[in-house]
């Protein structure tokens, strides 16, 4: 059980690890771009008096609300003498402050308890009474706050506390009662494991431990293949059935409103799940890697489906999300390789990073008109998708959004699109034409590289940037007109475009980067703009049909091997300005 808990924590950490960080006032924060929240990351060298702000700004000036401290945020920081926590903090851990001067300062403790800014950080064996009443107004009880305590036998939680976090009462051998009401909306993994309540066999009924109408643990050895618990419970602890290899069918209590995080994590035999009509949310990793799950219907009242909720549920044939769902979480349906179609609700506003990546059989993607944002790799590797229309409110196609969708032949982009990011359509080998909207400012690295069927490319008027490898190995493109405001062409931007015969370069072009047109074997002539200043290394190398080039008078540099092996290019045409720097073998192999 402990092993599974660590796996879940590592998985959650892995998702955060992919998020960017910000360094603000000598502290490192992990940023959640989707929800605009920030977590205080590990700061092993923190010292002195710290004030954690309620909000921070990243390098771009975007604001994030600070909501949590990581598991080891300040662990072992002996020089940390005081800390102020903002009212926005919703989660932290005992270990976040263990080993600090704050934690060691006994003057801050009262009757065996350490409170900081309405957060209960820890309770130790110096508690004078076995019944511990958490102070009124306490907002947060830290994960592991009571862990290992041998004195406390009863705990009363005030209405101001909303969550019992991971390991909160773990190994409290003498704990026999915890009193809380409906104000508790979530219970963390292993919150009661090893406690007196957990170890008391009389508390268990048919392999189930229920406390205050909350199902907090099950005994996997006693769980039958078909699970229908008649005892009413309104809440299930996170990871309750995680790792179970017996359950095949589950019917949840009609009182349950949330399928909690990792509830059925890696339940390898699970086939069917009946969700209650009143369900509102499916939390992250709820059905993570349930490879045999075939039958689950999401009720109409559900408004949230979390990250990795159905990750690699490879047998799931189809699923529909009800109206009211506004966001599909990160990697939510990753690897659901039996999906052939998906019904997107009209209410949907965001599809998270990798949400449908690896859905190999997904053919039809009809995105709702109200969609505003796509995450990175959202449909990566969806090899069966044939066409997609990006809704008008989407402002950018993110990195690798459709990478490897090698059956896409038609893409419609919205008029107000401002960017196509790195690798967005890389490897879409059947895509035949693309019309870049007028307002699109930039085409990122490798955005269309490997689109080997691409024949027709139309650039919009506002384009400024064609980045490295943007159209590399698009062998069927024959003609290109580069827009007026493009001043540079990136590394290998059109390398390997064997069919390219004609290209019109803009007057404002100043720099052609290295290998930009390498191996454009069909290119016969090129008019370089008069203001061009630099031609990078191997920029036109192996353009074997190139017959005519006039080098502009403002040219300052021709990189090494820039025109190497341009066999048809007469060297007498290459008149160079007197002050131009010419790289090694720049014209080697040109026609004598």
- Residue range 456-478: mean pLDDT, rounded: 96
Say if 535 falls within a structural domain.
Answer: no
Position with higher pLDDT, 51 vs 578 = 51
Beta bridge mates, 386: none
Query: What tokens were used for 119?
Result: 């957060």
Nearest CA among 155, 208, 199, 198 for reference residue 180 = 155
- Residue range 319-345: mean pLDDT, rounded: 92
Q: What is the per-residue pLDDT for 4?
A: 43
CA dist 97 and 73 (Å) reads: 7
Nearest CA among 416, 532, 542, 536 for reference residue 482 = 532
CA dist 482 and 148 (Å) reads: 68
**How confident is residue 47, by pLDDT bands cut at 50, 70 and 90?**
very high
Q: Is the pLDDT at 340 greater than 70, yes or no?
A: yes
Lowest model confidence (mean pLDDT) among 53-62, 296-305, 375-384, 562-571:
562-571
The residue to which tokens 């069966």 are assigned: 384
Q: Where are the beta strands (DSSP E) in 292-445?
A: 295-296, 304-305, 327-328, 350-351, 373-374, 387-389, 396-397, 410-412, 419-420, 433-435, 442-443
Cβ atoms of 12 and 284 within 8 Å: the answer is yes
Q: Note down the domain range covering 362.
A: 308-385
Cβ atoms of 468 and 445 within 8 Å: the answer is yes
Say if 76 falls within a structural domain.
Answer: yes
Q: Is the pLDDT at 278 greater than 80, yes or no?
A: yes
The 3 state secondary structure assigned to 545-571 is: CCCEEECCCCCCEECCCCCCCCCCCEH
Q: Phi and psi for 8 in degrees, rounded to 5?
A: -65, -45
- Residue range 185-204: mean pLDDT, rounded: 94
**How confident is residue 296, by pLDDT bands cut at 50, 70 and 90?**
very high
Say if 377 falls within a structural domain.
Answer: yes
Residue positions counted in the chain: 592
**How confident is residue 189, by pLDDT bands cut at 50, 70 and 90?**
very high
Per residue in 83-99, pLDDT (tens digit) is: 999 999 999 999 999 99
CA dist 188 and 461 (Å) reads: 54
Query: What tokens were used for 547?
Result: 């017959």
Q: Is the pLDDT at 220 greater than 80, yes or no?
A: yes
Q: What is the per-residue pLDDT for 579?
A: 85
Percent of the chain at pLDDT > 70 equals 95
Lowest model confidence (mean pLDDT) among 46-50, 271-275, 425-429, 551-555:
551-555
**How confident is residue 370, by pLDDT bands cut at 50, 70 and 90?**
very high
Q: What is the per-residue pLDDT for 574?
A: 62
Say if 173 falls within a structural domain.
Answer: no
Position with higher pLDDT, 318 vs 56 = 56
Say if 484 falls within a structural domain.
Answer: no
- Residue range 154-177: mean pLDDT, rounded: 96
Q: What is the per-residue pLDDT for 341?
A: 83
CA dist 430 and 413 (Å) reads: 17
Residues 6+ apart with CB under 8 A from 568: 544, 545, 546, 547, 591
Per residue in 386-436, pLDDT (tens digit) is: 999 999 999 999 999 999 999 999 999 999 999 999 999 999 999 999 999
- Residue range 478-504: mean pLDDT, rounded: 96
The residue to which tokens 């009193």 are assigned: 179
Examine the fold and report which residue of 356, 385, 414 is the final residue of a domain before the chain moves on.
385
Examine the fold and report which residue of 57, 83, 104 is the final residue of a domain before the chain moves on.
104
Q: Is the pLDDT at 262 greater than 70, yes or no?
A: yes
Q: What is the per-residue pLDDT for 573?
A: 56
CA dist 510 and 564 (Å) reads: 21
Say if 538 falls within a structural domain.
Answer: no
Q: Is the pLDDT at 328 greater than 90, yes or no?
A: yes
C-alpha torsion sign, points 369, 370, 375, 379: negative
Say if 439 falls within a structural domain.
Answer: no
CA dist 397 and 442 (Å) reads: 11
Regarding beta strands 479-481 and 456-458, do their DSSP bridges make them parallel or antiparallel, or are they unpaired?
A: unpaired
Q: Is the pLDDT at 15 greater than 50, yes or no?
A: no
CA dist 447 and 32 (Å) reads: 25
Per residue in 499-515, pLDDT (tens digit) is: 999 999 999 999 999 99
Other beta carbons less than 10 A from residue 434's beta carbon: 24
Q: What is the per-residue pLDDT for 270?
A: 95
Query: What tokens were used for 241?
Result: 């059935």
Q: What is the per-residue pLDDT for 508?
A: 95
Q: What is the per-residue pLDDT for 435?
A: 97
Q: Which segment, 175-184, 229-238, 307-316, 545-554, is predicted with the most confidence on average?
A: 307-316
Q: Is the pLDDT at 137 greater than 60, yes or no?
A: yes
Q: Is the pLDDT at 3 greater than 70, yes or no?
A: no
Q: Is the pLDDT at 5 greater than 60, yes or no?
A: no
3-state SS class at 478: coil
User: How many domains in the chain?
Assistant: 2
Q: Is the pLDDT at 1 greater than 50, yes or no?
A: no
CA dist 191 and 525 (Å) reads: 72
Examine the fold and report which residue of 48, 69, 104 is the final residue of a domain before the chain moves on.
104
Q: Is the pLDDT at 231 greater than 80, yes or no?
A: no
The 3 state secondary structure assigned to 44-81 is: CCCCEEEECCCEEECCCCCEEEEEEECCCCCCCCCCEE
- Residue range 75-85: mean pLDDT, rounded: 96
Say if 13 falls within a structural domain.
Answer: yes
The residue to which tokens 């700061």 are assigned: 43
Query: What tokens were used for 23?
Result: 């360094």
- Residue range 215-231: mean pLDDT, rounded: 82
Per residue in 121-135, pLDDT (tens digit) is: 999 999 988 999 999
Q: What is the per-residue pLDDT for 18?
A: 53
Q: What is the per-residue pLDDT for 578?
A: 78
CA dist 216 and 208 (Å) reads: 8
At 374, which CATH number? 3.80.10.10
């Amino acid at each position: 059980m402990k092993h599974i808990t660590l796996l879940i924590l590592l998985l959650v950490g892995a998702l955060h690890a992919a998020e960017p960080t910000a360094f603000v006032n000598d502290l490192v924060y992990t940023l959640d771009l989707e929800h605009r929240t920030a977590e205080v990351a590990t700061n092993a060298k923190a010292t002195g008096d710290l004030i954690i702000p309620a909000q921070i700004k990243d390098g771009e000036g975007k604001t994030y609300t600070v909501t949590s401290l990581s598991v080891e945020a300040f662990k072992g920081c002996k020089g940390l003498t005081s800390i102020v926590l903002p009212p926005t903090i919703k989660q932290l851990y005992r270990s976040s402050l263990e080993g600090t001067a704050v934690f060691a300062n006994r003057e801050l403790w009262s009757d065996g308890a350490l409170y900081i800014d309405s957060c209960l950080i820890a309770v130790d064996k110096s508690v004078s009474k076995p019944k511990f009443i958490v102070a009124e107004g306490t907002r947060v009880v830290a994960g592991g706050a009571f862990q290992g305590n041998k004195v406390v036998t009863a705990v009363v939680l005030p209405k101001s506390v909303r969550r019992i976090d991971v390991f909160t009462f773990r190994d409290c051998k003498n704990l026999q009662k915890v009193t809380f009401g409906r104000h508790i909306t979530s219970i963390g993994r292993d919150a009661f494991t090893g406690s007196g309540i957990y170890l008391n066999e009389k508390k268990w009924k048919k392999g189930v431990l229920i406390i205050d109408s909350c199902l907090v643990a099950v005994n996997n050895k006693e769980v039958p293949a078909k699970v229908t618990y008649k005892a009413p419970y309104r809440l299930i602890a996170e990871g309750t059935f995680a790792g179970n290899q017996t359950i095949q069918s589950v019917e949840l209590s009609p009182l349950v409103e949330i399928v909690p995080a990792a509830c059925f994590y890696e339940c390898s035999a699970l086939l069917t799940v009946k969700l209650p009509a009143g369900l509102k949310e499916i939390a992250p990793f709820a059905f993570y890697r349930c490879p045999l799950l075939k039958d689950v219907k999401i009720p109409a009242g559900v408004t949230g489906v979390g990250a990795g909720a159905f990750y690699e549920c490879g047998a799931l044939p189809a699923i529909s999300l009800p109206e009211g769902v506004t966001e599909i979480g990160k990697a939510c349906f990753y690897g659901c390789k039996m999906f052939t179609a998906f019904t997107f609700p009209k209410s949907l506003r965001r599809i998270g990073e990798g949400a449908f990546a690896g859905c190999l059989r997904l053919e039809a993607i009809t995105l709702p008109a109200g969609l505003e944002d796509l995450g990175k790799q959202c449909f990566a590797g969806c090899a069966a998708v044939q066409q997609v229309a990006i809704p008008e409110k989407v402002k950018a196609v993110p990195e690798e959004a459709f990478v490897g969708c090698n059956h896409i032949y038609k893409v419609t982009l919205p008029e107000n699109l401002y960017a196509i990011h790195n690798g967005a359509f890389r490897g879409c080998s059947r895509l035949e034409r693309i019309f870049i909207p007028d307002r699109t400012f930039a085409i990122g690295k490798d955005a269309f590289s490997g689109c080997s069927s691409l024949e027709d490319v139309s650039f919009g008027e506002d384009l400024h940037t064609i980045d490295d490898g943007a159209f590399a190995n698009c062998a069927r493109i024959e003609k290109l007109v580069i827009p007026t405001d493009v001043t540079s062409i990136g590394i290998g931007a059109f390398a390997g475009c064997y069919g390219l015969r004609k290209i019109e370069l803009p007057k404002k072009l100043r720099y052609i980067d290295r290998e930009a047109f390498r191996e454009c074997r069909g290119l016969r002539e090129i008019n370089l703009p008069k203001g061009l200043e630099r031609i990078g290394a191997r920029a036109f190398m192996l353009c074997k049909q190139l017959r005519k080039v006039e080098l502009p008078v403002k040219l300052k540099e021709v990189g090494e091997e820039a025109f190497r092996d341009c066999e048809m290019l007469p060297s007498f045409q290459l008149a160079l300005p007197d002050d131009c720097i010419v790289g090694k073998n720049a014209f080697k192999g040109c026609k004598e």
